[in-house]
Amino acid sequence: MGPADVGEVGPEKPDGEMTEERQAVPSPGEGESFGSWLRSQREVRQIELKSITQSSKINIRYLEALEHDRFDLLPATIFVRGFLREYARIVGLDADEVLNFYLAASARDDLEGGIENVSSRPATWPTGRTVAVGLVVVAILLFLVWRFFASGDPDAAEDMETMAPPITEVAPAPPTPEPLPEQALRVTLEFRATSWVDVHSDGERTVSELRVQGESLTVTADDEIRLRLRNVDAATIEVNGEPFEHGAGDDEDILISAPGSAGAA
């Protein structure tokens, strides 16, 4: 169960009470962007952006990017869907309507960006040197063809192959992944379902993000790693290459200590 699957809770009223209502809201008006519409829906309900960050654990820079139509600063669409569902849940909007408005705005932004890139691309023309080299190559090929048919010599065909060797492209080598630092504790999570994950390594938060099925996450520390999974059954855990069993539930701390440290069992 990911952050979008948490029980539905309505927006915070000015007097601190919560409501479970989902209000159908009008779509962005003509000339109004998705981000400004989203921000106005939050402000009219008197909800601070910081409150949404604290409740959803979504980085505030992603929320600001949504409200300012900076779609280029957002992660993959699957993560943005989760962000918007949490946003809609807290503010009290219909999540499906918010997603539809965002997808329409994102598609329009991509289309306008593509047209702008094409129209601003400078026209390029072949230089005089390029044209001259091309004419020389064509002349040589025509001469070899004439020689082949005029003499009937099969060796002429071999000459043509020699003059025009096949062009091969060497695929670039894949980048070498950077090795993780040598530390006493190495924890790997393999995700078989979607879950929000928070990681503190040696007391400092190093990860706070959404992970989906098929992804893996490896973190290291000198002494201690503290995990918290929104959906604890979504991931298997290995510690220094060995399976790690725990009895924690959803949103409960999983404490893993390095062998020989003060907190080790």
Q: Which residue has the tokens 């072949």?
A: 126
Give the span between the Cα atoms of 210 and 198, in whole angstroms: 9
Give the span between the Cα atoms of 58 and 157, in whole angstroms: 67
| pLDDT band of 141, cuts 50, 70, 90 | confident
pLDDT, position 226: 92
Give the span between the Cα atoms of 166 and 195, in whole angstroms: 51
Q: What's the CATH class of domain 3-119?
A: mainly alpha
**Does residue 190 contact residue 216 with C-beta atoms inside 8 Å?**
yes
Q: Out of 35-39, 183-187, 188-192, 199-203, which region has the weakest mean confidence (pLDDT)?
A: 183-187
The pLDDT tens digits for 231-240 are: 989 999 999 9
Give the span between the Cα atoms of 184 and 148, in whole angstroms: 73
Q: Out of 147-156, 179-188, 189-198, which region has the weakest mean confidence (pLDDT)?
A: 147-156
Percent of the chain at pLDDT exceeding 70: 66
Q: What's the mean per-residue pLDDT of the chain?
A: 76
Report, as an integer, the average pLDDT of 105-116: 70
**Close Cβ partners of 130 (under 8 Å, ≥ 6 residues apart):** none
Instruction: Cite the DSSP H helix spans in the chain.
Output: 34-44, 49-56, 60-67, 77-91, 95-120, 128-151, 155-163
pTM (2 decimals)? 0.37
Give the residue extent of every domain in the chain: 3-119, 185-257
CA distances (Å), origin 25, targets 94, 100, 164, 222, 233: 8, 12, 67, 51, 36
| pLDDT band of 134, cuts 50, 70, 90 | confident
Q: Which two tokens stand for residue 185?
A: 């504790």
Report, as an integer, the average pLDDT of 123-152: 71
| pLDDT band of 32, cuts 50, 70, 90 | confident
The pLDDT tens digits for 46-93 are: 999 999 989 888 999 999 999 999 989 999 988 999 999 999 999 999
pLDDT, position 96: 92
Q: Is residue 114 scored above 70 in pLDDT?
A: no
Give the span between the Cα atoms of 56 and 5, in whole angstroms: 12
